[in-house]
């Protein structure tokens, strides 16, 4: 299994409804080989944290590549993440 973790620092002034729409669309995304998706905003327990996290578990490397190239996933990245993201950090690792 491959776990993909994406952490986002939002641009100052990002509207809560933009974040809510992003979360809703991510939660509705269906990609073959995607075993689990979790997304949420920072709980505010420590100063300096990033604002949003997306964790996706995928069956294997081929499923990750399909997810990475998926048209709906790329639309979400382009139309919903890019306009509100100041910075995006990613890592994929084997579970």
* DSSP calls for 23-65: HHHHHH---TTEEEEEEEE----STT--SEEEEEEESSHHHHH
SS3 at position 9: strand
Which of the listed CATH numbers 3.90.550.10, 3.30.70.100, 2.60.120.10, 3.30.1490.20 matches domain 2-94? 3.30.70.100
Q: Per the structure block, which two tokens stand in for 10?
A: 């939002």
The whole-number average pLDDT for the span 70-87 is: 98
**What pLDDT digit, counting tens, does each position of 18-76 carry?**
999 999 999 999 999 999 999 999 999 999 999 999 999 999 999 999 999 999 999 99
Q: Domain limits of the chain?
A: 2-94
How far apart, in whole angstroms, are the C-alpha atoms of residue 89 and residue 53? Answer: 10
pLDDT band at 9 (very low <50, low <70, confident <90, very high): very high
Q: What is the pTM of this model?
A: 0.94
């Amino acid at each position: 299994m491959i776990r993909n973790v994406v952490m986002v620092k939002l641009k100052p002034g990002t509207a809560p409804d933009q974040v809510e729409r992003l979360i809703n669309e991510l939660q509705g995304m269906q990609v073959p080989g995607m075993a689990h998706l979790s997304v949420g905003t920072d709980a505010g327990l420590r100063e300096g944290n990033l604002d949003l996290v997306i964790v996706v578990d995928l069956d294997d490397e081929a499923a990750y590549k399909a997810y990475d190239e998926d048209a709906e996933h790329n639309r979400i990245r382009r139309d919903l993440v890019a306009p509100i993201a100041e910075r995006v950090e990613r890592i994929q690792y084997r579970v």
